[in-house]
Amino acid sequence: MAPIRILVVDDSIVIRKLLSDTLSGDPALEVVATASDGHIALAKIPQFKPDLITLDIEMPVMDGLETLAAVRKLYPKLPVIMFSTLTEHGAAATLDALALGASDYATKPSNTGSAVVAIERIRVELIPKIKALCGTVALKLMPLPGSRPAVKVRIKSNPRIEIVAIGTSTGGPNALAEVLPRIPGDFPVPIVVVQHMPPIFTRLLAERLASKSAISVEEGSAGAILEPGHAWIAPGNFHMKVLRAGLHSRLNVNQEPAENSCRPAVDVLFRSVAAAYGANVLGVVMTGMGADGVLGAQDIRDAGGEIIIQDENSSVVWGMPGLVHASGLADAVYPLDQLALEITRRVLQSRASRYGVGVKSSTPLERTAK
């Protein structure tokens, strides 16, 4: 197989060399060209025909956001990974870039004090994303723990859904921006979310989603009491769990070891909601790279809850939902533009069935869900 051809765009000659040397050290990758600003990059795309671009945000002449907008007009399907700093400004600009159509992002290694550490961070964070976006990572059936079967035949009891748990990664910010704003303001259960992102990013993401949504959206915090019509996003670098405490459920955030190389991890959240709510859980696995969420989906299924996933065509990377599907754990598969409606329909239907016919719908989305 021919190596993935990469165009590195960054105004720093040090970063260009670091990226070029590190990426080219992988036999599956080839840096075919570099550029110090957006104008030069746009001129080199037709010349070198890259399979993927890494794009700095802050550059002279033509910055990353301007360059991205131009790339999307000329090459709408060309994968672009933003390479940004882990700062408030860098996080905000990265979210802007994702909204403009960037495929993913990676944070620049800073204050490492060691070239070796910086190179390793690029290898761990950036290279897997490049391979996933360029379709060189094959789905493999996930081994499930113990002797539990991959496909579990269950008798449907239609339990009343009391919580919705969502897990997502690559492509997740835009996917969440499609789903959460379409959830009605009187949604009768809480929503908890893991989106793989570093600190600062998750808070800004929650604020942006809150500004567009009828439900409340905020970053999760220790001790927060779960309420209907409210969504919490796990804070970067912290696992988030749901714990039952008497009549209430509260959030717990902690820095226990990473799972699936992730913190926050979807498996941690899913495992906790299965323990806290049993069969009364709807789990949703959306676009994302890697295997996080598969074992947690098994925990929800074992407890009697349901799992739905985003389909391949609408996913930026069908790693996480694809592995849930490959492991036989998905109850149903939906395109992104149908997920909000399906989540609402399942929640309302599960609760209406407890009272029989005649439950009134108070919102257009609820009436459609009926």
Q: Give which of 157, 108, 115, 78 is closest to 10, Cα–Cα.
A: 108
- Residue entry with tokens 């075919």: 32
Q: Give which of 247, 241, 252, 246 is closest to 274, Cα–Cα.
A: 241
- Residue entry with tokens 């609402």: 344
Q: Assign residue 85 a region: left if phi > 0, alpha if psi is -120 to 50, beta otherwise?
A: beta
Q: Which two tokens stand for residue 231?
A: 């969504």
Known catalytic residue at 248: no
Known catalytic residue at 325: no
Q: Give which of 216, 222, 225, 217 is closest to 239, Cα–Cα.
A: 222
User: How many CB atoms within 10 Å of residue 80?
Assistant: 25
Q: Can you point out the beta strands (E) in 305-350?
A: 306-310, 332-334
SS3 323: helix
Burial 262-284 (b: 16+ CB within 10 A, else e): bbbbbbbbbbbbbebbebbbbbb
Q: Which of 10, 37, 104, 196 is catalytic?
A: 196
Q: Which of 169, 249, 272, 327 is catalytic?
A: 169
- Give me the sheet containing 52-56, strands edge to edge: 29-35, 4-9, 52-56, 80-84, 104-107
Residues 232/191, Cβ–Cβ less than 8 Å: yes
Q: Which of 37, 292, 299, 311 is catalytic?
A: 292
- Amino acid in the structure at residue 122: I
Known catalytic residue at 292: yes
Q: Give which of 366, 161, 182 is closest to 281, Cα–Cα.
A: 161
- Phi then psi dihedrals of residue 307, to 5 deg: -130, 125
Q: Can you point out the beta strands (E) in 99-247?
A: 104-107, 163-168, 191-195, 216-219, 230-233, 239-245
**Residues labelled as active-site residues:** 169, 196, 292
